[in-house]
């Protein structure tokens, strides 16, 4: 489960409900010894202050692909989960010797105490989490905001509502 860094090339469409992305991301699995990759059940962290949307997105991920999905209903809850909160008992961002605790983070942009861009920057500051792909869920198609998030290290920006095609793209960020 390693997060392979992201390149700076951008691809994808920007439009209503469409997404913009950078390549890089989710670990494909461990070698089975005969050169084949063993399937990995990705672990996704969803960060959104709107609980109903968070739960709906969690169901969508699970319906499309067998994965483990954790949720955080605030930026502080997300930072604590990742072990990055300054004023909390730090939990490790890593799962033993197996790499980061999560393979992907999807965060809403519009949150009260810290927006998605600020959360993105806080996570990317951590050497432990810098290679974990992050997608930002935007409430509107704003090219300047999309560009800012991509330049800040987001691997993908998605305009709400999240669709099955978006989830499929998120889950395949690191497919060869």
Using one digit for the tens of pLDDT, what is the confidence trace for 60-119? 999 999 999 999 999 999 999 998 887 544 444 444 444 568 999 999 999 988 899 999
Residue 116 is predicted with a pLDDT of 94
Mean pLDDT rounded to a whole number for the chain: 78
- Does 3.40.50.2300 match the CATH number of domain 17-25+41-171? yes
Return the domain boundaries, the chain. 17-25+41-171
Dig out the tokens for 154 from the structure. 């987001």
The residue behind tokens 């799962």 is 95
Cα 162-114-147 angle, rounded to 5 deg: 55
What share of residues in the chain are helix, strand, coil (percent, to 5)?
A: 30, 20, 50
Dig out the tokens for 170 from the structure. 């998120």
Given pLDDT bands bounded at 50, 70 and 90, which one contains residue 6?
A: very low
Contact 149, 117 (CB under 8 A): yes
Dig out the tokens for 22 from the structure. 């950078």
């Amino acid at each position: 489960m390693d997060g392979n860094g992201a390149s700076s090339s951008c691809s994808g469409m920007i439009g209503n409900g469409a997404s913009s992305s950078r390549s890089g991301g989710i670990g494909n699995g461990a070698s089975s010894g005969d050169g084949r990759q063993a399937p990995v059940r990705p672990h996704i962290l969803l960060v959104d202050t709107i609980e109903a949307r968070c739960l709906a997105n969690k169901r969508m991920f699970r319906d499309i692909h067998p994965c483990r999905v954790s949720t955080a209903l605030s930026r502080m809850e997300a930072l604590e989960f990742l072990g990055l909160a300054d004023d909390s008992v730090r939990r490790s961002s890593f799962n033993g010797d197996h790499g980061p605790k999560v393979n992907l983070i999807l965060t809403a942009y519009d949150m009260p105490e810290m927006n998605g861009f600020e959360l993105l920057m806080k996570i990317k500051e951590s050497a432990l989490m810098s290679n974990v792909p992050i997608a930002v869920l935007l409430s509107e198609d704003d090219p300047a905001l999309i560009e800012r998030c991509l330049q800040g290290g987001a691997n993908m920006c998605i305009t709400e509502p999240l669709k099955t095609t978006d989830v499929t793209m998120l889950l395949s960020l690191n497919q060869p």
